[in-house]
Every structure is written in C-alpha cells, then in structure tokens.
Amino acid sequence: MPGFELFGAEEKKEVNDVLETGIYMRYGFDGPRKGIWKAKELEQALTERFNVKYAQLTSSGTTALTTAMAALGIGAGDEVIMPTFTFVASFEAVLSVGATPILVDVDDTLTLAPDAVRAAITPKTKAVMPVHMCGSMADMDALLDICKDYNLLLLEDACQSTGATYKGKALGSIGHAGTFSFDFVKTITCAEGGAIITNIEDIYTKADAFSDHGHDHLGGADRGADGHPHFGYNFRISELHAAVGLAQIRKLDKFLAIQRNNKQILKEALGAIPEVTFRRLPDPEGDSATFLSFFLPSAEAAKAATAAIKAAGLPAFYWFDNNWHYFRKWNHFKEGATLHPFAAQLAKAMEVYKTKEFPASDALMSRCISFPISLAWTDEEVRGRAEKLIAAIKSAL
C-alpha cells in the first residue's frame, strides 16, 4: 500500500537535486536554486496525471482540505455533510474553518450513503464531502445529482485513494475540488504533503494564496512585492518533500498494477468462504486496491477473526474499535475537547454529538475487516498470506 515500500534511486536523485542547490523552500531564491523547482514540477505532474487544469501542493492532506474549504468559501454557519467512517483529519478541517461537520451514515461502499446525505440537508448545508476510503470510491453519480438538485458544493476527500478512478475520471477531479494526502503511509508519499486539484481557476488562485500567508505570487522574484488579497496560513510544502513526491508519482501506475494484482489473488481466495461478503465498489475497474475490505455475518465473528488474523502474524484493521477512523471512538469529537473555545454557534451545533448514534453505520462497521495490500510482496508471498488469512477466518467462524 504505501509508496515508501518501494523507495529507490529515483527518490534519492530528486532529493539530491535539491540538496545540491541548498534551497529547500518552494518560493523565492530564484538565482541560487539554479532552475530547480520540484514543487512546480510535481504540481504540473499532478495536473497531467489526473487530467485537471490546476494543482496546489500543501504541507499535508489536512492542510489541503482546510485550504480547499477556504477557497470554496466554506466557513462559520455552513454545514458540511461527511461520513461517519473517515480519518479524523476530515472533521478537523471542517472545524478549522469554523464550519459545522454533519456526520451521516455510510453504506456497504464504506462511503457516504446517498439517502442519508439527502436526509441531512438543511438550509445551512454548503457542501457535501465524500471521503473515498481505503482506496475506493463513493457513489459519485448519486452525490453529483444531490449536489445539483440542492446547489451544493462537492469537495472530494481523496486522501486515501490516490490513483483511483470513477468511470474513467480520477477521484478528486469530479467535484468542485479534490484533495490528496502524501503522508508516509499513502499510495504515493512525499513523507509529508498534500494537494488540491480543481478545474476552476478561482478556487486554484485562492488556494495558491491561502496556503502561503495570502501571497498572490504576482511580485516576480521579489516576495516582498507580492500582494495579499486575503488572509492565509503557512501550509507550504518544502522542495525536499516535493522532490520525493515527484519521483513517486512517476511510479504510480506501477504501484497500482502491483496492488490490483495482489488484491485480486487475495479476493479470489477469500471468495471460497461462503460467510465472507465484500465491500461494494461503485466502479470496480477504478479501485486503487490499497485494501481488501470484507464483511462477516456478525460483529462477534468479525472481532474473533481480527484476533485470529493478527495471531497469525498478519495485519488487519477492525475499524469499529479504531480510535482514529470511526465515529464510535471519537470521544474528543463527541465532547468538543478543544484547546481553544469554539464559536458559540458552532459549540451549540456540536452538542448533538454527545448523544447521537449511528446504528446503520454500526451494523456495517462492526462486521467489517480491512486487510492492507503491500507493494513489496511477491506472488508467492501473497498466496502464502491468503492461505493464512483463510485459515484464520475459518477458525473464527
């Protein structure tokens, strides 16, 4: 799954280019950098790979989400509909711009349930944010229809699904804007980094400035001559991080091919167990195959199988008990445990989560196990793991 599994001479070459100039910041120092602009190169590579007009790098997937929301004009009083199953960064970004996260149920895609989205829309709803979890996609046609019907923004959190597609279009390129994470355990990594992609020039222009203290980058070689049309923050990526990502994105097709091959072997093996059912993929051909996610008949069986899989020396994610990825264990979110007070309006809106429950999501997530797909396995190693996985699941059933 993570690109770091196949680090090599390519990454070293790109990083050494930067080290030799001694210029690690992405802006300014035009002369000493001797024509080396890794962040610019990576942004161009992103636009070409994902067939979009604009890409803006940031320091993380979280800052990419925050920047995208700011550029979309999402803020105080606005509601953003998002799923109960995601990484905590998704709601952190919503809260960071002063907006209200409206959590709704997921379905067997492990992403937003379209009916739950429709039911959650209020006059305050500004955006719908599908999170393409574990390498695969939300039902984008249904979500696009909803956003069109209600004139809502569609912001794709594609941080876990770099390289996945939906009906031929890259995830992240379908809505008004999309975001990626390039942290250490993502399909391609910068070690730390993120990006926003969009086809809308105004969103890009605002994101470009917001992620660099509001600089409009129109001052040429003199950063002091830049204008500041609005506030921004230091969400910049460094040249060193961008250099790693530049080498990695050139390997993306190779990574996807390996993941898809390894996942197919595992899925075919598990398909022989009648009690196993698989996550529904709205577009199976577009799956980036970072995880094999499946369901067992009951929560008890899933919990027992997870323990057996781990006892066999294999990795397994039982999201229902995971502190980072599922609402059930987000105690700090439920209690509004922040180091600085929320605005009164937001604090009041967050009160609902102290008692809110999501039985439909619980019914799915309590039966779900995700098995990560490694880039480093040989076919023989994949088949060996498949045998262990089958044995562990059968022992639990």
Question: Cα–Cα distance between 339 and 309 in angstroms, integer?
Answer: 38
Q: What share of the chain is helix, strand, coil (3-state, %, to 5)?
A: 45, 15, 40
Give the pLDDT of residue 1: 84
pTM: 0.97
Q: Over the stretch 34-50, which tens digit does the pLDDT of each residue have?
A: 999 999 999 999 999 99
Q: Using CA atoms in the order 105, 111, 117, 119, what is the torsion angle rounded to 10 degrees?
A: -30
DSSP letters for 75-131: -TT-EEEEESBS-HHHHHHHHHTT-EEEEE-B-TTSSB-HHHHHHH--TTEEEE--B
Question: Cα–Cα distance between 194 and 183 in angstroms, integer?
Answer: 7
Residue the block writes with tokens 């730390």: 192
Give strand pairing partners of 374.
none
Q: How many residues does the chain have?
A: 397
Residues in the chain where the model's pLDDT stays below 50: none
Q: Which amino acids are annotated catalytic?
A: 186
The full set of domains in the chain, from first to last, is: 3-252 (3.40.640.10), 253-396 (3.90.1150.10)
Question: Cα–Cα distance between 199 and 177 in angstroms, integer?
Answer: 8
Give the pLDDT of residue 16: 98
Phi, psi for residue 284 in degrees, rounded to 5: -55, -35
Q: Say if CB 97 and CB 71 are below 8 A apart.
A: no
Question: Cα–Cα distance between 140 and 147 in angstroms, integer?
Answer: 10
Of 367, 362, 364, 360, the closest CA to residue 393 belongs to: 367
User: What are the residue ranges of helices labelled H in the chain?
Assistant: 9-21, 38-49, 61-71, 88-96, 114-120, 140-150, 201-210, 239-249, 252-270, 299-311, 331-335, 344-350, 359-365, 379-396
Give the sheet arrangement for strand 79-83, strand by strand: 54-58, 194-198, 177-181, 153-157, 125-128, 79-83, 100-104
* C-alpha count within 13 angstroms, C-beta hemisphere, residue 19: 7
DSSP annotation of 342: P
Q: Over the stretch 240-293, which tens digit does the pLDDT of each residue have?
A: 999 999 999 999 999 999 999 999 999 999 999 999 999 999 999 999 999 999
Residue the block writes with tokens 């992103």: 46
Question: Cα–Cα distance between 216 and 155 in angstroms, integer?
Answer: 23
